[in-house]
Amino acid sequence: MNILIASSEVVPFAKTGGLADVCGALPIELERLGHRPFVFMPGFRSVYTAGQPVEPLGVEFNIPIGSKISKGSLAKSVLPGSEVEVFIVQQPEYFERAELYREAGEDYPDNCERFVFFCRAVMESIRFLDLQVDVLHGNDWQAGLLAAYLALEYRRIPGFEKIASLLTIHNLAYQGNFSHWDMALTGLDWKHFNWQQMEFYGRLNLLKTGLVFADALNTVSPSYATEIQSSDLGCGLEGVLRHRAKDLSGIINGVDYDIWNPESDSRIAKNYDVTSWKEGKSECKKSLQKAMNLPESDGPLVGLVGRLASQKGWHLIIEVMKTLVSRFDMQWTILGTGEPEYHRALKELAEAFPDKVGIELGFSDDLAHQIEAGSDIFLMPSQYEPCGLNQLYSLKYGTVPVVHATGGLADTIINLDQESQLQKTATGFSFYEYHADALLAALRRATDVYSHNPDLWQQIVTNGMQQDWSWSQSARAYISLYERLIDRKASASVDQCSDE
């Protein structure tokens, strides 16, 4: 299959979150499995400092944007360690800026125009480069217009008739909402600006556009695919998603075990595997304690890595820390940056309890690996979590996850309960009601097992380390989805020809 993957973020060229990890890893695995993926992304400033060669292709665009013509061009690179081509849509005025989507805390006012240009350039590239695409796979709102252009403008152009379109939702909260006047920028007929297609409470919504026009939809975990059809997590689009429920599925993101693997990780103090984790993690724990200015202690060490944002459950975490930090022999090591109120609260805790709380308010890839290897428990009490990756890293590193049972966290962590203890299948601890008392109870269950039942703790650690959440599993699920889409599109084309 020829699979075009369009994304605004692709590791190592541009990243703000998990979208980039998926779109940098999935194509490589698809190539290993015998398919031909190629990636399209905007020519952000970071593309040219990523350490990969970028080659101009001599292909130029004249793209209509509302009443004007915007000129752009194509360049090409490759994903590291592969032959996967990365086509870079170049338009310096749109893309060569300090950040990807916003600056000084404010979205760029022309974001709609920027990604109209990107989507139209992708569609024109299919024709210019004769790519013979089987599946057009867009990701998030930035690529939401692709399915609409395919369905409304390109479907009857030779070479486009049988292309199947897929839209992946990585986080439904980000939708690409713009003024209704921006509809003119898309070049699509105003008749499509209606509540059933592109309009959302009087505004243009690019994610909704993709949800309506794509042949199929998926998101990054089966549970999240169900949750976003509810009013609690549907972000106003639950009606659209329920209407398309038969076309909506969930596929868990994979982990790159070439990078996240305690057997070979060069960033950690001592390498280890499932047979040597006790000794390895002990050395890594001592090294982490030293790095975070914490004294050595045999009590449980709780690790957290990520955005300090309310969605990640930080109001619950702070409340629980205040309850536990002065009463129990346990330490906390935290890496992240985000909302100022959480910065202040963590600084106060670290100053009050320097032997118990170590913080780094920023980001360090090295320290992220060291926390995964050196912690005993990894805490992820997210209010919602489309997939989550840190809990998967934690399993591999023998660091037992304590999670809120939502989205990908619910799909990947087997809670220790009576049944899983009997069957010896548990990989972590989950809580179900989203409040501090429930988190506290789950964390206390974990620390009790750690301190008083070492055989059960060893079983949980071993179960987690033996799990396989590699990209090969996820890529095969995507291939199966692509094949179903292609077959369905072929059948629909035959039926249409018969009708005509």
Whether 404 and 494 share a structural domain: no
Rounded to 10 degrees, the C-alpha dihedral 370/374/375/380 comes to 20
Give the whole-angstrom CA distance, residue 228 versus residue 221: 11
Whether 297 and 382 share a structural domain: yes
Whether 118 and 235 share a structural domain: yes
Whether 329 and 459 share a structural domain: yes
**Two structure tokens written together for 455:** 């055989």
- What is the reported pLDDT for 268? 98
Give the whole-angstrom CA distance, residue 139 versus residue 478: 13
- Classify residue 141 as exposed, middle or buried by CB count within 10 Å of its CB (0-12, 13-18, 19+): buried
**Two structure tokens written together for 100:** 């990807």
- Cβ–Cβ under 8 Å, residues 74 and 40: no
- What is the reported pLDDT for 49? 92
| Residue 262 forms part of a structural domain | no
- Beta-carbon contacts of residue 403 (< 8 Å; ≥ 6 apart): 379, 380, 381, 382, 388, 391, 409, 410, 413, 428, 429, 430, 431
- What is the reported pLDDT for 499? 53
| Residue 61 forms part of a structural domain | yes
Please list the residues that pair with 199 across neighbouring strands: 204
- Cβ–Cβ under 8 Å, residues 22 and 170: yes
Phi-psi region of 235 (alpha: psi -120 to 50; beta: other; left: phi over 0): left
- What is the reported pLDDT for 167? 98
- Number of domains the chain contains: 2
Whether 106 and 240 share a structural domain: yes
Nearest one of 472, 364, 483, 482 to 25, comparing CA atoms:
472
**Residue-wise pLDDT tens digits, 259-304:** 999 999 999 999 999 999 999 999 999 999 999 999 999 999 999 9
- What is the reported pLDDT for 183? 98
One-letter identity of residue 382: S
Give the whole-angstrom CA distance, residue 247 versus residue 387: 19
Nearest one of 131, 94, 139 to 116, comparing CA atoms:
94
Low pLDDT (below 50) residues in the chain: 498
- What is the reported pLDDT for 104? 83
Whether 464 and 476 share a structural domain: no
Nearest one of 310, 412, 314, 306 to 368, comparing CA atoms:
306
Nearest one of 492, 6, 500 to 210, comparing CA atoms:
6
Whether 42 and 86 share a structural domain: yes
Domain enclosing residue 111, as ranges = 2-254+472-499
- What is the reported pLDDT for 300? 98
- pTM of full prediction above 0.85: yes
Whether 352 and 214 share a structural domain: no
| Residue 269 forms part of a structural domain | no
- Beta-carbon contacts of residue 236 (< 8 Å; ≥ 6 apart): 200, 201
- H runs (alpha helix) in 453-470: 454-465
Beta-strand pair 331-335/357-360 = parallel
| Residue 272 forms part of a structural domain | no
- What is the reported pLDDT for 105? 81
CATH number (domain holding residue 290): 3.40.50.2000
Backbone angles phi, psi at 394, to 5 degrees: -60, -45
Whether 296 and 413 share a structural domain: yes
- What is the reported pLDDT for 497? 52
Omega of the bond prior to 12 within 30 degrees of 0, cis?
A: yes
Whether 72 and 112 share a structural domain: yes
Whether 188 and 328 share a structural domain: no
**Residue-wise pLDDT tens digits, 406-452:** 999 999 999 999 999 999 999 999 999 999 999 999 999 999 999 99
Task: Give buried/exposed letters for 18-49 (b at 16+ CB in 10 A, else e).
Answer: bbbbbbbbbbbbbbeeebbbbbbbbbbebbbe
| Residue 263 forms part of a structural domain | no
Whether 301 and 395 share a structural domain: yes
